[in-house]
Amino acid sequence: MKPTVISFSSKEIANLRGKYLHLKNEVTLFSDDVYFSSQVASLGLAREVGTVNDELARFIFDADSKQPVTQSSLKADFVEWRGLFGIKINSSETQRMTLRTKGFYDVVHPEFSFNADGTLHSLYIFPEIINRIAKTHDVDLVLVKTWGMNSIFGGFDPSKGYYQTNFWEIENNDSIKFADLVRHGQVAFLGTHDLIAHIAGIDKVHWPLLKANADRVYHAIRNYFIVTQKPTIASLILPYTLGVVLDDLAQPPSYSSLNHIAVLDELILRLAKNEITPNQPTLLTEFPKSFQTIIDMSRTPEIQNTPERYRSVIASLVQEVLRSSITGVG
Amino acid sequence: MKKVLLGAVNLIVAGSPFVAHAEVPVVEHKQKVEAYNFASLKSIEGSWLKVANACKARGFNASPVELVDTSISSGAANIYAEFKA
């Protein structure tokens, strides 16, 4: 028996949202209610597929033209099969697709997705099975309540670059939450980024080191804000930068990357200097240009051999933040 | 310029819904930070949008990779073997 395409009505989605909003904890293991979690993850994926927020698309190629399929040609349907809830992705451009990133094939059900020649006509994705695969690597997939509320259930317009045009990750100090997940061997599964950047290609060999680095990031940020009830935006820039580098490090292609770890080390050291006061009311007028340079450097192989390069840019980031900060009367 | 911005923030603080009564002279520290944060986010929006999209949000970038890998791992294959039609 093959998976059946099912409708997922607005009423059913509203019910799912209601249940989600009543989750008791900020972090819920997939395995606590795997069918519900699969529905949430499937909805998150389906909302992004074919939109500007679709991070799968650039790795899906037309086997004949050897070009990536057009993002907007991708469409997701909900499917059910033997009590599993999932999605099926198709492209209106081709029924002969190939996938070009490590681990992508691991998250696509092979029995239903392939043509006889090894190309794919569809991508059948079942979060429950993916959770089982992650568990073989000692990683737990989880739902993060506030992240889901900000994205899947946040009423965002899928046609807009939602993630690119809002600040909630800085504002909410999500870096510490992300570090906390990783140090506990957990990965959020709420959308296409989680699936392709963190879950596909997951490898337990690298996780002990990753968890140790996440633990260092977690404690660095926690100590920085330990007496701060409400951090200022200016003080959240450096932790945010740490979070971006850690996020890269938590992606299989960058696992155990010495260049990322070197930049991470320097960011942690810099944060410990407490140069940007976290609890003094401050108006930040510019986002620091050095941010992008730091991220680029963390992705540069062998950068760890020239520490003066990233040290000076990280110092510049702090200086930029300080120069763009107007302190009010606390 | 800085004075204008600070003046704007003070107006935001004074007019903030966090402040129960405008005449209350002392604004709670946390509420004040929130007002400044709100103004900061508005203020940095232009420069933020100039940063490459790849580095933002939960969509923190997937590291640039273009790997051709058509195999399924044996671990995943074993799991899928338990979920056969």
DSSP characters for B12-76?
A: HHHH-TT-S-TT-SPPPHHHHHHHHHHHHHHHHHHHHHTS-GGG-STT-PPP----------HHH
Q: How many domains does chain A have?
A: 2
Per-position pLDDT tens, chain B of length 85: 454 555 555 555 444 444 444 444 446 888 899 999 999 989 998 888 777 644 444 444 444 445 566 788 999 999 999 998 7
Strand-pairing partners, residue A325, are: A284
Q: CA angle A205-A141-A32, nearest 5°?
A: 135
Q: Are residues A173 and A238 in the same domain?
A: no
Q: Three-state SS for A191?
A: coil
Q: Are residues A19 and A138 in the same domain?
A: yes
State how far the Cα of A274 lies from the Cα of A134, in Å rounded to an integer.
38
The Cα-based distances of A273 to A28, A221, A299 in angstroms read 35, 12, 24
- Determine contact, residues A264/A212, Cβ cutoff 8 Å: no
Tell which of A202, A226, A241 closes a domain: A202
User: What single DSSP character describes residue A68?
Assistant: B
Out of A53, A253, A284, whose CB is closest to B65? A253
**Which residue of A lies nearest to B48 if distances are taken between CA atoms?**
A287
Question: What is the residue type of A86?
Answer: G
A residues 149..188 contacting B (CB < 8 A): 151, 161, 163-171, 174, 188
Q: Give me the domain span that covers residue A148.
A: 1-202
Strand-pairing partners, residue A143, are: A28
Q: Are residues A212 and A189 in the same domain?
A: no
Q: CA angle A198-A201-A206, nearest 5°?
A: 80
Q: Are residues A42 and A95 in the same domain?
A: yes
pLDDT tens across A158-186, in order? 666 655 556 777 888 899 999 999 999 99
Q: Are residues A78 and A144 in the same domain?
A: yes
Q: Are residues A223 and A320 in the same domain?
A: yes
Query: Model ipTM?
Result: 0.86
Q: Are residues A239 and A274 in the same domain?
A: yes
Q: Are residues A136 and A220 in the same domain?
A: no
- Residue B46 region by backbone torsions, left for phi larger than 0, else alpha for psi between -120 and 50, else beta: alpha
Q: Are residues A169 and A252 in the same domain?
A: no
Tell which of A173, A202, A231 closes a domain: A202
**How confident is the model at residue A85, as a pLDDT?**
98
Interface contact flag, B44 A286, Cβ < 8 Å? yes
Q: Are residues A233 and A163 in the same domain?
A: no
The structure's pTM equals 0.90
If you count them, how many residues does chain A have?
Answer: 330
Q: Are residues A166 and A110 in the same domain?
A: yes
